[in-house]
Amino acid sequence: MGEALLAARLQAWDQYLAAGTLGPVLNEIEALPLKLEEKAFFGIQMLHRAGLHGQALEEIDQFTADADLSPLVHCKLARIATDAGATFLAAQFLKAALEGRSSVEGLAMAIDIATEISERDLEERAALQLEKLFPEHPALVNRLLKQFDDADDYTGLSNMWERLGNAEARDLCSDLAGLIPAEGIADYGGIRKTLVQRFNGLHVDSLLVRHARRKKLYMHALDIATTGTVARPAAAHAILNIVEDLTLSRDEQGRLVISGDQLRGAIEKVISYLAENPTDTYTRSRLAKVLSLEITGTMGVALIAVLSLDFMRRPLTPIAIDRPKGLSADQLSTRLDLIGNAWKWLDSQSPVMLGKIVLPEHLLTVPADDLAPAIITMMKYLIGRVQDDDDLKQLRLWMMLGVSINSHTTAQDYDLLILRLGAAAFAMTGQVQFARDIAEQILNLSDNSSRRRRAGWFSVADIYQRLGNKMESLIAFACAAAGDTEVEEDEIWDETNGLVRLLRDTGLFDVAREIHESAWNILGRLGLAEANAHRHKFMSLTIDLGQARLKDDFASDLPDFLRRITECAEEELQSASNVEPQAILLAQIILWAQLAEVEVPVKTIETFEMLLDQASGMVARLARSLSSAEPEPEALLNLHQTTEAARYADDVAHDARFVALLSQRLLASERARSDAVTSTLAIEMISDRAVSGPGWKVTSKPLSIVTSVGEPATIAKYLSLEGVSVILLGSDAKKNLTHVQWREGEGSIEPVDAFSVIDFRTWSENFPYKYGIDDETPNLFYTTTESLRLTSLPAGPIVVVADTELQQLPCNILRTGDEFAGESHPMASAPSLSWLKAARDNPAQTDGRKIAWISQEEKLGQTFVAIKTRLADTFEEHGIALDTGPEIPDGLAGSELVIVTAHGGLGSDQKYFQRVSDEGSLVTSGGYLAAHLRNVGVVVLFVCSGGRTDKVPDAVTTVGLAKALLDQGCTAVLASPWPLDSRVTYHWLPAFLDSWTQGNSLAEANFQANRAVARGLGGEPAKCLAMTLYGDPLRTCFQAEVDLG
């Protein structure tokens, strides 16, 4: 019945969606005579058809699948999950679909989805079933074509195209078969030159690029892929895949095999493609991943910043558009009936799709050209006066009204500005997820002209800059600057100013000043210099301040900065404009002055109070707390709770930046120094909360918000009563360490005289990496940690929760006196207390399997062969299945224990884990390995630096292979934070498995295993303290058996 109803109503519902009105569709579904799960499924499909993939996943998370759901429905859910990026969930739906009697349609869909999400086993199962029903189905034909291509069998490809009646493809593959040599390296340039004379260049390039990549001839592949203009998604994806291949590859001296210019040229091609294709979300997210710390390290941000500059330096053609001034405030006040009726109609259609919704013309009693500018003026007025949720609701209504009349205006381009204004306001008032949703909607609306594409990309850059996401902002800005060079005059000023902010935030201060000066010249040409002089002056101040903050003698500059910010604030108050940036900055300068014991002038305090009177409620509360000598923990909790929950956990890293500022200020207060509950709250807020709980299935939802000041302390208290003491470490605003201990239900603040945060930052420039490669410096561990000691540790097992910077210090080498913690205590580290609570309250469910992977390719050595030989008896004794294939095995997800033996590599500056490789030809990213280990209970990594943690600059989170595994839903990871001596593997693993399978906790089992290493190899910390536990310290092997039962 359900499918018949859907077929009957689908056309009508699609018409509603095309008009941007989702509400009537959902209301009609709710009224249908269907089961609850059928209604839910229809609703999910409509959200998917509307392009609201994140919201569709949220509904799937609440969806209870009926046992009677057809295989086709499971396939459709798999497609929805795949389009939303939830590949693990998609695989689960596909498994369910293939267990039933699937239709031809469902099986064909399953093959496509399984191919897309790289589930080779599921693809094979679906193909075998489809062959029995429809052997000539196009899905099977396409699969066979791909298999011939993957095998470099161009003769087979040619024969297949012959059967399919495609003469051009047949001849192309036939010619290529004759030109590709059986041995040696092909002359790709010569082959291409020959083939493009007869065949489509895109088809030629596609075949040659794939062949060169399979042969691992990445530079040849890049040369072909970047030959012409990139016009298709597949071509952009090919470039990004090759760039990843090259940035992870190293020559014999360990150097990058791609030059900076080559990398820049390749990324420039992708940016140019995205500039013209703003709705290609996948390519944009793939680019962000390739430019991330996990792939290109610190080069990524620098590269995209340079590209933005290059594009922005192209000559622009200013254009003037004559726009109506719009209704005055008095005139608008006489049209309140129009506003009220419009809002009432919009509410009746809710939820609506911004940008698609169109207000019925009969409700417009004034020309849209007059109303649109008035709405923009009203929004600007409201933005600086938001005090509570009612004000935010009203701002949303004005924004919805503005975009709903856009198509009635002559210019039809007010919508992007209105959405940008709204999103910027929501970003500053804590509505961070809504601001992100608006940014993505802007891109969907900007694809119908080159000028709108540029404006759309710049809007997104502006929004993400305000959200603190530098990479997304830089990518969007580069795409804007790479687009149309005809720009409205006032938009040139906005764009130039936006670039200045980005360059400042990236630390390119001199270049920022250069662009800032050109912005002043633009203002002069527009005749707007006098009216905007105060803003220009304020921007100059922020550049100087950002650079001065890096100086050791910054405190000596504070009196001058206090004077300058006071002048800027006074001028902003006189202009009656947006005072919030001044309020936040002045609060921070007052804070720094207090910490440096620099007197703050009375005039500055008076000006600050006037700023707070005019700022929005959230900004005023944040600024007041930041500047307070004794901020209240309740203020921190309020800021945390009024920051909108992110849809995905990794966005928390940027959303929490103001919370982190206030947390470090609170940590430096007298109250925090004497109260363990307050300090525990503050450290929890600067720990790594940008990670979902273990075992997540649908989306990587953020951890639950903290509900009270005492909640983190309560978590620590109960953990300490479960048999593991809790240590919390946090660096405060004065760069001092706070050390909190919870043992047997009691909390205390410990003295920290022997720990220097400044020395720790110096230590982190070379360590812990150097511990694994320097075996000549005597007493290296002791001499380098002399000023990184704690005064005491509680007895017994310990779990450490530290702020995201201090998480770089491995817990095993926390030092008291002349002893390292791991020598006498079972130790573990966890991202946050909230993560630990999630792990203990909802233990990850696994299937109980135990698997080891040791690639046996020997081209570059025989270390792994020796490890396998030494561990063979251990694997057999404990029922561990061994895979020795040259690729990361499929089907590891959901196992209880996975042991990985591989080489690990950091970036070129010996920071940030990047590469996993074997002793043959496998080279891949840590993220790729982590994705294969989805929701594994316990992961053992015999991988150099696999346990290393690095702080992400400008975000409240960390990065590393162990963190990536926790991101993928794993419960615990055991790995070394520095290069690992291969002999450790066969001394450590037997002892670990013996202890764990006897019922001991992971922390205890790791402790006993490290002791076995000390007995076998000696007491050198580089060996006997290498294997470090990240995650749940209390998980047991028996717990895994209970999960399976």
pLDDT digits (tens, 9 = 90+) for 141-166: 999 999 999 999 999 999 999 999 99
3-state SS assignment for residue 137:
coil
State the sign of the Cα–Cα–Cα–Cα dihedral 106, 107, 110, 116. negative
Is pLDDT at 241 greater than 60 in this prediction? yes
DSSP assignment string, 698-725: S--PPPPPP-STTHHHHHHHHHHHTT-E
pLDDT score of 2: 63
Strand partners, 819: 816
For the ranges 52-66, 503-517, 756-770, the one whose mean pLDDT is highest: 756-770
Alpha-carbon distance of 354 to 350, in angstroms, equals 11
Judge contact between 982 and 1013, C-beta under 8 A.
Answer: no
Higher pLDDT pick, 53 / 384: 53
- H or E stretch at 252: none
Encode pLDDT of 684-734 as tens digits.
999 999 999 999 988 899 999 999 999 999 999 999 999 999 999 999 999
Higher pLDDT pick, 595 / 62: 595
Judge contact between 484 and 315, C-beta under 8 A.
Answer: no
> Considering only 29-38, 62-71, 501-510, 511-520, which range has the smallest mean pLDDT?
62-71
- Mean pLDDT, the chain, whole residue set: 93
- H or E stretch at 626: helix 617-627
Q: What is the mean pLDDT of residues 64-93?
A: 86
Name the residue among 591, 535, 520 with its Cα closest to residue 561.
Answer: 591
Judge contact between 667 and 640, C-beta under 8 A.
Answer: no
pLDDT score of 1042: 46
Confidence grade of residue 295 (pLDDT, cut at 50, 70, 90): very high
Q: What is the mean pLDDT of residues 662-678?
A: 95
Is pLDDT at 1044 greater than 60 in this prediction? no
> Considering only 83-92, 225-234, 766-775, which range has the smallest mean pLDDT?
83-92
Name the residue among 412, 337, 389 with its Cα closest to residue 404.
Answer: 412
Is pLDDT at 72 greater than 70 in this prediction? yes
* DSSP annotation of 1031: E
pLDDT score of 903: 95
Alpha-carbon distance of 467 to 657, in angstroms, equals 9
Tokens standing for residue 367? 């020309």
pLDDT score of 426: 95
Confidence grade of residue 593 (pLDDT, cut at 50, 70, 90): very high
Strand partners, 943: 902
Tokens standing for residue 179? 């030109």
pLDDT score of 86: 87
The alpha helices in 84-166, defined as continuous H runs, are 87-98, 104-116, 120-133, 138-150, 154-164
Structural domains in the chain, CATH included, are 2-145 (1.25.40.10), 672-832 (no CATH), 839-1044 (3.40.50.1460)
Judge contact between 1017 and 987, C-beta under 8 A.
Answer: yes
Within 8 A by CB and 6+ apart from 668, the residues are 595, 732, 733, 734, 736
β-strand 913-917 against 923-925: which pairing, if any? antiparallel
**Residue found under tokens 């580089």:** 1022
Higher pLDDT pick, 618 / 770: 770
DSSP assignment string, 369-405: HHHHHHHHHHHHHHHTT--SHHHHHHHHHHHHHHHHT
Q: What percent of the chain is modeled with pLDDT above 70?
A: 98
CA distances from 612 to 163, 591, 609 (A): 75, 15, 5
Q: What percent of the chain is modeled with pLDDT above 90?
A: 77
Confidence grade of residue 1043 (pLDDT, cut at 50, 70, 90): very low
Q: What is the mean pLDDT of residues 369-390?
A: 90
Encode pLDDT of 727-776 as tens digits.
999 999 999 999 999 999 999 999 987 899 999 999 999 999 999 999 89
Judge contact between 960 and 688, C-beta under 8 A.
Answer: no
pLDDT score of 875: 98
CA distances from 133 to 37, 54, 128, 964 (A): 30, 35, 9, 41
pLDDT score of 1040: 57
Within 8 A by CB and 6+ apart from 441, the residues are 353, 354, 355, 419
pLDDT score of 243: 97
Exposure of 382 in the CB half-sphere (CA atoms within 13 A): 26
The pTM of the full predicted model, rounded to 2 decimals, is 0.94
Residues in the chain: 1045
Task: Give the distance from CA 1040 to its chain's centroid.
Answer: 30
What are φ and ψ of residue 30, in 5° steps?
A: -60, -30
Judge contact between 699 and 60, C-beta under 8 A.
Answer: no
Confidence grade of residue 67 (pLDDT, cut at 50, 70, 90): low
Alpha-carbon distance of 753 to 758, in angstroms, equals 13
Encode pLDDT of 22-47 as tens digits.
889 999 989 988 888 888 888 999 99
Q: What is the mean pLDDT of residues 524-539?
A: 85
Number of Cβ within 10 Å of residue 448's Cβ equals 10
pLDDT score of 859: 65
> Considering only 81-95, 262-276, 554-568, 873-887, which range has the smallest mean pLDDT?
81-95
pLDDT score of 791: 93
Q: What is the mean pLDDT of residues 69-93?
A: 90
Tokens standing for residue 247? 């940035």
Tokens standing for residue 168? 């051009």
Residue 1044's identity, in one-letter code, is L
pLDDT score of 550: 92
DSSP assignment string, 260-292: HHHHHHHHHHHHHHHHH-TT-HHHHHHHHHHTS
* DSSP annotation of 555: G
Within 8 A by CB and 6+ apart from 996, the residues are 1002, 1005, 1036, 1037
Q: What is the mean pLDDT of residues 597-611?
A: 95
